[in-house]
Amino acid sequence: QQRQVLVDGKFRKVVRMAEVRAAHLLVKHTESRNPISRRTKERITRSKDEATTILKKLRADIVASPDPQRAFADAASRSSDCSSYRAGGDLGKFGRGAMQKPFEDATFALREGEISDIVDTDSGVHIILRLPLN
């Protein structure tokens, strides 16, 4: 059975390729598996609903920007709770099995330059930007 994920309100097949490169913006919440921000070093006190609301606003601002890739990196540097905030959210290259399954499926379903809808994992809620491999 072919796996599909939701991208921009449409179902898309998960593409089979060896490696992808992506950036993400993670907003943790109290139900996250490690509710400590890697950016601020503080314990997270926001609910999952609050985290989702924050991320929806950030995503809307990013996609409305004249340069969404730059806006994504800026937003990740300012707002992501992942240590990748230092690199504008860039996680580098990774293959299958390296990330949590919902994150992996969403990333492999994106085309270069696309930004995912909100992706929910044990780490928190994310938006993902698929980047060129080089």
Find the catalytic residue in 29, 37, 79, 82. 82
Is residue 29 part of the annotated active site? The answer reads no
Residue from 65, 67, 87, 68 nearest 76 by CA: 87
The residue behind tokens 């994992």 is 121
**Active site annotation includes 126:** yes
Structure tokens at 126: 């994310």
Beta-sheet pairing, 10-13 with 124-131: unpaired
Q: Is 123 labeled as catalytic in the residue annotation?
A: yes
Catalytically annotated residue among 24, 37, 80, 84: 24
Is residue 2 annotated as part of the catalytic site, yes or no? no
Active site residues: 24, 82, 100, 123, 126
